[in-house]
Amino acid sequence: MEAVSTPKHEGDEEKSTIVRFEAGDPQDPRNWPQWKKLLSWLPIIPVDLCVSFGASGYSPATMKFTKAFGVSSEVGVLGLSLYTLALALGPMVNAPLSEYHGRLPVYIISYGLALPFLLGSALAPNLGGFLVMRFLCGLFESVTIAGLGGTIADLYGSHNTGYPMSIFLWAAVSGSSMGYFLMSFVAQYRPWYDVFWALLGISGGFWAIMTCCLLYCGETRHSVLLRRRAKKLRKETGSESTDVPLEHRPKGLKELLLVTQTRPFRFLVQEAIIFMGALYNGYLYGISFLLNGAFGLVFGPEGHGLKRYQVGLCFLGIIGGVTIGVFTNIMQEQYYQRRVTQAKYANLPEARVRMSKIAAVTFPISLFWFAWTTYKSVNPAVPVLATALWGWSFYTILLMTYTYTEDSYKQYSASALAGLGFVRNVMGGGFPLFGNQMFTKLGYQWAASLLAFLALLLVPIPFILERYGVRLRRRSPWAREHIDEDPGEDKSMAHGAQGDLGCGGIN
């Protein structure tokens, strides 16, 4: 621990002792041994997967659910949409709690509170009760969305978050397809409510493992750890002048709520970087949940005539593409580390964009490919291969938006990412409400083509970020604090990366 004496106010004789982590401090989470770091976040990954399972795992059971309750398919989709909407709102609740109490109790208690509502979803006697259970379950399960990125930032310096974030985003992106794939086997042979019993068993088991690991490793949030040290020192010394740096001091409840509830929306409206990232996040997640219904049409009884579990197997294409993205990101990360080393470890978010320029182009290509191979006369493996390319594009673009945002806004990134997450989950919940109707009325080919044409409008975003990102960050009152003044920075990022790409190089 480093304790520095500084005047409380200019001209005051009384001095305050400021508590900070000193270099090499073993209690600083960034100085923990690698095994302990891994144990502090890897067990959260399967829990984060379960959050997505809770959304898409319901989809293969929707038909049985609507028959059991005698409602239309449009009403049945509300079971997915309300859950996803709750995932968008949940971080607004969890963020203030973690500020005061730390990440560990919020992970354990919030997700633990979601389990009874998962049970309630299985036992719901009527539609109203089921929808309430679904919403409350999503509200509490959203804790991983709000906290896992912050936990990684607690444990690793900004230049070393690339690989952990790639695993986190793998879970966030592949979870939807994986949930449909797994639960399609349950929905094929069992009543709709058995899907929720299965989800309860999986989620409860992973929650128990996560709880044991986190209790063993302890809290990671720096502000909470430093405040505990300061409190202990005040008790030992009897001095009330011991405190933590200003940025780690607890905010008043009114101020905290004002920041957590309004700043994400200010970022969405005022920050061009966040607005562009939100467009990509929302559209990609919207399509990912829309495909839950579209796959049932394209590959199910009205299309290729596959059984429900076989439709679930078709999602392996997306899962495979996303997983390949984890490995191709190694090249992106190597490029990023090389650029950062050359710049003497300056902050270079634009070096995170390189691979996403390719993904921005393959994104609409994959949708056109899928669109015009959905004919019954075409082997279903062909459109599945198209979805693998889409999955790779989805993962690569989403990872870029997260890492670029983290590097650009640093201590403000929680609010920035909350804005991205809100749009992502709102659109993820909204797209399924019209997806089936769109595919039915326009036809599979033109419906998917419409999605591809809209994707073309987003292609310029990573190119804009690479070329003009520094300028955009300079205009931001939050991002310009983290620009390392380098006379050649703008020029190097605008031209150097393009030169590398031209030579065959590939966040």
- In this prediction, residue 502 carries a pLDDT of 29
- Indicate the pairing of strand 15-20 with strand 242-243: parallel
Strand order in the sheet with 15-20: 2-7, 15-20, 242-243
Element of type H or E holding 94:
helix 78-101
For CA atoms 262, 265, 270, 272, the dihedral sign is positive
C-alpha closest to that of 407 among 93, 153, 176, 207: 153
Q: What is the pLDDT of residue 9?
A: 43
User: Which of 294, 434, 317, 435 has the alpha carbon at shortest distance from 374?
Assistant: 294
The pLDDT of residue 237 is 77
Provide the CATH number for the domain formed by 266-507 in this structure.
Answer: 1.20.1250
> Residue 132's CB: how many other CB atoms inside 10 A?
15
Domain ranges of the chain: 28-227, 266-507
Positive or negative: CA dihedral 17, 18, 24, 29: positive
List CB contacts of 334: < 8 A, sequence separation 6 or more.
Answer: none
Q: Could you tell me the two tokens for 110? A: 């919030």
How far apart CA 163 and CA 476 sit, in angstroms, is 27
pLDDT at 492: 36
DSSP letter string, 289-327: HHHHHHHHHHHSTTTT---HHHHHHHTHHHHHHHHHHHH
C-alpha 137/C-alpha 142 separation (Å) is 9
- CA dist 351 and 333 (Å) reads 9
What's the CA angle centered on 125, arms 208 and 56, to 5 degrees? 50
Task: Supply the mean pLDDT for the chain.
Answer: 85
- pTM score of the predicted model: 0.85
Q: Which of 497, 501, 506 is nearest to 351 (CA)?
A: 497
Conformational region of residue 218, where left means phi above 0, alpha means psi within -120 to 50, and beta covers everything else: left
The pLDDT value given to residue 380 = 93
> What is the model's pLDDT at position 332?
92
Spatial CB neighbours of 166, under 8 Å, sequence gap ≥ 6: 326, 329, 333, 399
Alpha-carbon span 350 to 346, nearest angstrom:
11
According to the model, what pLDDT value does residue 256 have? 67
- CATH code: domain 28-227 is 1.20.1250.20
**pLDDT single digits (tens) 448-492:** 999 999 999 999 999 999 999 999 999 988 888 888 754 334 333
Q: Which of 133, 111, 7 is nearest to 58 (CA)?
A: 133
Whole-number Å distance between alpha carbons of 329 and 180? 25
Supply φ then ψ for residue 65, to 5 degrees.
-65, -45
Domains 28-227 and 266-507 share a fold: yes
Segment 354-373, tens digit of pLDDT: 999 999 999 999 999 999 99
345: left (phi over 0), alpha (psi -120 to 50) or beta: left
What per-residue confidence (pLDDT) applies to 417?
A: 82
With residue 429 as reference, give the H or E element that holds it: helix 413-430
Nearest CA to 349 out of 464, 503, 269, 500 is that of 464
What is the separation of C-alpha 163 from the centre of its chain, rounded to a whole number of angstroms?
A: 15
Stretches in the chain below the pLDDT threshold 70: 1-15, 95-96, 100, 146, 246-248, 250-260, 485-507
- No. of H helices and E strands in the chain? 23, 3
pLDDT of residue 257: 67
* Residue 498 tokens, joined: 């393009």
